[in-house]
Amino acid sequence: MRKAVYPGTFDPVTYGHLDVIKRGSLVFDTLVVSVGCNPLKEALFSVDERMGMIREEVADLKNVEVDSFNGMLVDYLKTQKTTIILRGIRTVSDFEYEFQRALTNRVLNKEVETVFVMTSEQYSFLNSTLIKEAVSLGGSVSQFVPPGVERRLMQKFKHAYRKNVE
């Protein structure tokens, strides 16, 4: 049985993330989408909110689990009884960054393997920061995130947008 962990911040989950999740669910018997708690990043949504949004969007994928973790990914992999990390790649710069992370993880645990999935081209430019910026300025992001995620984004930025308009 092949199990992989797809770690990320998912702040918020996008159609690009969901593309990687759906494709990963076809490759692995079990895919654990795990929201990482990164102390170097200030998240808009709480870990529980992010997990809830992901759960809503992957409910039809029976082999996908949603979890969260603190600390080192290689330590979390041990708790999940796997050595496989799934990562999405959008651009060449993503590859350079992810390549460094993959090598670092392998130094920390020589059994860890990282599997890269190229994001579908229609999502290759997406990132959560740009989506949050667009919503904060009053833009629609319906083509980038599911309706429930867009609604939550609009609720988070409702007060900030009103201030910008006034």
Catalytic residue among 50, 128, 132, 152: 128
Q: Residue 82 annotated as binding?
A: no
Q: Residue 91 annotated as binding?
A: no
Instruction: Identify residue 32 by its one-letter amino acid code.
Output: V
Is 41 part of the annotated catalytic residue set? yes
Is 55 part of the annotated catalytic residue set? no
Is 106 part of the annotated catalytic residue set? no
Quote the CA–CA distance of 154 and 138 in Å, as a whole number.
8
Give CA angle at 16 (129, 112), nearest 5°.
95
CA of residue 42 relative to chain centroid, distance? 15
Is 2 part of the annotated catalytic residue set? no
Quote the CA–CA distance of 78 and 74 in Å, as a whole number.
7
Q: Residue 125 annotated as binding?
A: yes
Q: Residue 17 annotated as binding?
A: yes
Residues tagged in the binding site annotation for substrate: 9, 41, 73, 87
Per the annotation, binding residues for ATP are 9-10, 17, 88-90, 98, 123-129
The catalytic residue positions are 17, 41, 90, 128
